A and B are shown apart, each in its own frame.
Chain A
């Protein structure tokens, strides 16, 4: 049993090392920067999903044509 454990231990490392090195290479090649600010990773369920219709996204206040630039209708 002990001898079998020793062989299993050796096989684990022979497999693990190339797999981890390959993972490092893949990780470096396909990297894209992401946000690192405080609270950046917090999920915000009240925000629209990325594939939601564009009219659900808050309008840009600097855009003169947007709804934000319109005045409240008078009654």
Chain B
């Protein structure tokens, strides 16, 4: 979290993360080429350049799988939330590894003829109606363009200027890029040589990524369906008991006011004998604030550490982020919330928790 933009907000954790990531990629490339040289059949006769092309391609594909698995894993088990930190660097690295694969492939397969290599890439094969002869390179190019757009707009500067909604929609194109890459592999290398290992790995990857996303999605939609309804705008909704909320933590509840079609998740925080209710959606990347905790008097997002004051929904100065707030009161040991959201950053008095009867 920073008030001004810098290229990368380096800290010790990020340096370690990036060092381990780059080391692992280099090791993967070396091991892939070394092993492939030994195990390839005599008839294959792949050169070292071709092996490097494949090593880079598989590395980018594996990295994309990891990037795609991190989100649902963190949603399914909050103990895995730390792996979400710095996912952005992993995504940008995926683009650069994919770019290296693409450039080397274009030079190697399209760079020794009459036409310029990029032109040859787009015109050499136009068998779009054939499965076995399909110009699979175009699918890789489409995926690379999407990964480029994501990498280029990954900085918080673009998140702020594009607005979180547009930014999120743009970055959801990664699913389209993933589908294009699966087809790139199926219609590319799989057409050249059949490999049980390759097909098995491909199916495993699709099933793994798909299952994790569906499992996490079903869980989230079920939470939304359990929304507590209000009958009119003045209704106070009984959301939970005070004792259901751990100290300095929150209970997430889905509220649906009388004039809303869909429910809205709110985070009911308990701290220092008080209760405050704010939107569950972080202004930064839509992180689940209710899964975070109160650190130094501020609600802290579990994704990237953005902070908000529980009584106002505003980030502490000099930061300017704001989230919606909700009126709350405590009756006995029950927490009641008005489902009509206040404008982001509107101060709302916290409810005071009465002493439990002894």
Q: Do A and B bind each other?
A: yes
Interface: A56 (CB within 8 A): no
Q: Would B194 and A28 count as touching, CB distance under 8 A?
A: yes
Stretch at the interface among B19-27, B91-99, B108-116, B336-344: B108-116
Q: Are B172 and A9 in contact (CB under 8 A)?
A: yes
Chain B residues in the interface with A (C-beta under 8 A): 46-47, 49-50, 108-115, 117, 119-121, 123-125, 131-133, 137, 165, 168, 172, 175, 179, 182-183, 186-187, 190-194, 199, 202-203, 206-207, 210-211, 213-214, 217-218, 220-221, 224, 254, 262-265, 281, 286
A8-32 CB contacts (< 8 Å) to partner B? 9-10, 12-14, 16-17, 19-21, 23-24, 26-28, 30-32
Q: Are A42 and B115 in contact (CB under 8 A)?
A: yes
Interface string of A17-60 (1 = CB under 8 A from B): 10111011011101111101011111111100000000000000
A47 to chain B, nearest CB (A): 9
Task: Kindly state the separation between the CA atoms of A53 and B145 in the bound complex, as whole angstroms.
Answer: 40
In the complex, what residues of B have CB within 8 A of residue A23's CB? Answer: 182-183, 186
In Å, the complex CA distance between A9 and B215 comes to: 12
A33:B192 contact, CB within 8 angstroms: yes
Contact between A14 and B214, CB atoms less than 8 A apart: yes
- Chain A residues in the interface with B (C-beta under 8 A): 1-7, 9-10, 12-14, 16-17, 19-21, 23-24, 26-28, 30-34, 36, 38-46
- Contact call A41/B110, Cβ cutoff below 8 A: yes
Q: How far in angstroms is the closest Cβ of chain B from A42?
A: 3
Known: A10-B214, A16-B179, A32-B133. A27 touches B111 (CB 8 A): no
How many residue-residue contacts, CB under 8 A, span A and B? Answer: 138
Are A9 and B217 closer than 8 Å at their CB atoms?
yes
Cα-based distance from A63 to B203 in the complex (angstroms): 49
Residue contacts A-B, CB under 8 angstroms, 29 given: A5-B168, A6-B221, A6-B224, A9-B172, A9-B217, A14-B214, A17-B211, A20-B183, A21-B203, A27-B186, A28-B199, A30-B131, A31-B132, A33-B193, A34-B133, A36-B46, A38-B109, A38-B112, A39-B108, A39-B113, A40-B109, A41-B110, A41-B120, A42-B109, A43-B110, A43-B120, A43-B124, A44-B113, A44-B114
Given A20-B210, A39-B111, A41-B137, 8 new contacts (CB under 8 A)? A2-B281, A6-B224, A13-B175, A27-B187, A30-B132, A38-B47, A42-B120, A46-B114
Can you list the 5 inter-chain pairs with the closest CB atoms, starting with the nearest? A42-B113, A10-B217, A17-B210, A39-B112, A27-B186
Contacts A3-B224, A4-B262; is A13 near B112 (CB within 8 Å)?
A: no
- For the complex, give the distance between the alpha carbons of A56 and B83 in Å: 62
